[in-house]
Structure 1
Amino acid sequence: MLNLTYEFKLKPTPQQAQEIERILEVCRRVWNYALAERKDWIRSRKSPINACSLFAEYIIPADQPYPNYARQSQALTKAKKDYPELKTVNAQALQQVLKTLETAFVDMKRKGMGFPRFKKARRMRSFVFPQMLKNCVQGIYLKLPQLGRIEYIKSREIPEGFRVKLARIIRKAGGYFVALCLECDVDVPDVPPHGYPIGIDLGLDKFLATSEGELIKRPRFFNSLHRQMKLLQRRLKKKQIGSNNWQKLSKIIARLHETIANTRKDFHFKLAHHLCDQAGMIFVEDLNFQAWAKGMWGKHTLDAGFGQFVTILQWVCWKRGVYFGKVNKDYTSQICPNCNAHTGKKKLSFRVHSCPECGYTIHRDVASALIVRNRGVSEVGRILDVKEVAWGGDLTGTRNGLVKSLRNRKKGGEAWIYPAS
């Protein structure tokens, strides 16, 4: 089963935009009520038996079960009799709100996420229609439940053989968007290792360096508009919260943030395609970008968006048939790519790798990218050996022939060394 998600911009009529806002508001109230119900149940059981809570808590009977998704869905159906406004919103859209809340509570333990929060006005930004008709796409129009036929900008065609499984309506600073989840009954195998390999080293001095010696400068997405953002934030601070001027200025700031995010994503996609044009295998370090973001250079790390870039690069590689792999990150900057000697730690101010054993000199980031590439090729060889693939001797197209040709290949008069697996 193959799933794709395509995002399009909607062009709703004023009546449809008003209906979208009303649905978002009802979904927000359902979220807040369900979250409050769960928090009250948890708080009523957090105090010891022989002590009282320092804060006022609701007294909930001990035999009352935990309000999970199933019980809250049943309660939602009964609540429609007392609150007719709930009947005016698609029932499945409200159920999806409860499912999202259930997932948030599960992720607290499974992924170590934070406690779900209540949503203030205009903080609910999306809702889902989980069941779509087969003929919901009609030219430049989409047929959505409750909203009817709504026009959208058809920036690309939906692939043949795919059907629309669900639709998520999203409100952004730039307007309303729809994310269509497409489904196709086909199994696509993973991309096998093939072609010419390159390694990538990510960093803050240069956004990335490749094993081919290419250095990509790190764009300052946020810093380029930091002065304008700072000025707008100062003006917003002087406005009365909730006033019309406050809302207008908030929309301008939101549009500016969206411009920064779109510019960053556009750069990541173009760079990913540029890398895929050069190789059949791409290897990167298996890094913990969340730890990077908490360090001294957290602001610059988040501005670069390394995690988003790696995710986009993996998707583009799969789409274009390029093998993508992650390798161990340890000591990539402390090993000589020419003789595999351990050169020790280097200060961040040292941007040139100079091996004391063999005298090999190269840019520090390029040397790390070479190590990443060598480890990737070695790891691919190990995987292929485990699968017991029938390889020939030193013939062209076999693994031994590939490693031998790569070892003997030269660029700029310097041999590229690949350790045998």
Structure 2
Amino acid sequence: MLLKYKYKLKPQKNQMLIIANWLELARKQYNYRLAERLNWFEATRTPVNACPLNVSVVPVERIYQNIPEFRIQARDGRKKDGDGNPVTKKGDRHPNIINGYVVWETVQLADLVQTKKLFPEYKSMHSQVLQDVIQRVQTTMDNFTKPDKNGKTSGRPKFKGKHYYNSFSYPQLSNTNIVKNANGRFCVNLPKIGLVPFVYNRSIPRGFKVKTGTVIREADGWYISLTIEDKTVPVKVAEIQPTARKLKRY
């Protein structure tokens, strides 16, 4: 079972500055990476009623111009030839960009190294926090391009203004991140930020393990939402609502 517990943070002034700065850097990175994905989407799409049958509207070389060739992968083996044999094996590297496809998440994650060289301020951020920004972009684009079980998709993703990007996440935390400081006050140990005091008004149930942590900005201050999990506890089953037809059986 997965649960989320939310606590009020009581950061010091220097910690508040770090958290606010990280949030702004994460917002800028989110907008930049989303722009990359949308530019790619617009460059490679064509209207359904005007799709060419034998040529590409955009030259293939232009489509892949900013992507290293080793990041362009072949299909995963599902495509088969006339004899039923897979054309490519899973994980094959395509020697040419033609008929290749791009795993954008891996491309953007690899580009974070270059981002830190061009913008040294990103070196102060924890690497997993920065990687989570790319994951958010990936989730946003998946919701936009891939239909859900009902066949519906989300609207076109929007860029985030300062008042619309209010959180960043640590994908990997544990119970050891919940400690007491020298004064006996409960703190959450956030990597590269330090021990941040918080109001521990709800104890974590025995057997549950802390998995992730999301720092959230709200009108009255900063909060942290901890995702906790205990695999031995079954997921709650939805209650069956009685109806007239069901009551007739008894």
Q: Which runs of 5+ in 2 are unaligned?
A: 66-96, 181-185
Structure with greater helix share of residues: 1
| 1:324 aligned counterpart, secondary structure | coil
Map residues 157-172 of structure 1 onto 2, 5 A cutoff: 157-172=203-218
| 1:160 aligned counterpart, secondary structure | coil
Q: CA deviation at 1:11?
A: 0.8
Q: Distance in 2 between matches of 1:103 and 1:68?
A: 12
Q: Distance in 2 between matches of 1:9 and 1:16?
A: 14
Q: Distance in 2 between matches of 1:189 and 1:19?
A: 37
Map residues 51-200 of structure 1 onto 2, 5 A cutoff: 60-61=63-64, 63=97, 66=102, 68-108=104-144, 109-111=146-148, 112-139=153-180, 140-188=186-234, 190=236
Q: 1:151 to 1:41 in 2, by over 3 A?
A: same
Q: Which residue of 1 aligns with 2:22?
A: 23
Map residues 136-285 of structure 1 onto 2, 5 A cutoff: 136-139=177-180, 140-188=186-234, 190=236
Offset from partner CA, 1:39-89 (integer Å, 9 cap, x none): 111222235679999xxxxx6457495461111101112322222112111
Q: CA deviation at 1:123?
A: 2.4
For the 8 Å contact 1:9–1:176, the answer to whether it is kept is yes
Q: CA deviation at 1:110?
A: 2.6
Q: Which residue of 1 aligns with 2:239?
A: 324
Letter in 2 for 1:81: K
For the pair shown, the structure with the greater C-alpha radius of gyration is: 1
Q: Which residue of 2 aligns with 1:292?
A: none
| Larger RCO (alpha carbons 8 Å, 6+ apart) | 2
TM-score under structure 1 normalisation?
A: 0.43
Letter in 2 for 1:39: L
Q: Which residue of 1 aligns with 2:5?
A: 6
For the 8 Å contact 2:174–2:212, the answer to whether it is kept is no
Q: Distance in 1 between matches of 2:235 and 2:23?
A: 39
Offset from partner CA, 1:223-261 (integer Å, 9 cap, x none): xxxxxxxxxxxxxxxxxxxxxxxxxxxxxxxxxxxxxxx
| 1:110 aligned counterpart, secondary structure | coil
Q: CA deviation at 1:145?
A: 1.1
Q: Which residue of 2 aligns with 1:419?
A: 248
Q: 1:185 to 1:46 in 2, by over 3 A?
A: closer
Identity %: 29
Q: Distance in 2 between matches of 1:167 and 1:159?
A: 16
TM-score under structure 2 normalisation?
A: 0.71
Aligned residues: 198
Q: Distance in 2 between matches of 1:182 and 1:126?
A: 18
| 1:78 aligned counterpart, secondary structure | helix
Map residues 240-389 of structure 1 onto 2, 5 A cutoff: 324-325=239-240, 373-375=242-244, 378=246
Q: 1:10 to 1:52 in 2, by over 3 A?
A: same
For the 8 Å contact 2:174–2:209, the answer to whether it is kept is no
Q: Distance in 2 between matches of 1:178 and 1:79?
A: 27
Q: 1:133 to 1:187 in 2, by over 3 A?
A: closer
Q: Does 1:44 align with 2:39?
A: no
Let me know the Cα RMSD of the aligned residues. Answer: 2.6
Offset from partner CA, 1:98-153 (integer Å, 9 cap, x none): 11111111122233111211112242100101112442112421111122111111
Q: Distance in 2 between matches of 1:189 and 1:73?
A: 33
Q: Which runs of 5+ in 1 are unaligned?
A: 54-58, 192-322, 327-372, 379-417
Letter in 2 for 1:123: Y
Q: Distance in 2 between matches of 1:46 and 1:94?
A: 29
Moved more, 114-123 or 161-170: 114-123
| 1:182 aligned counterpart, secondary structure | strand
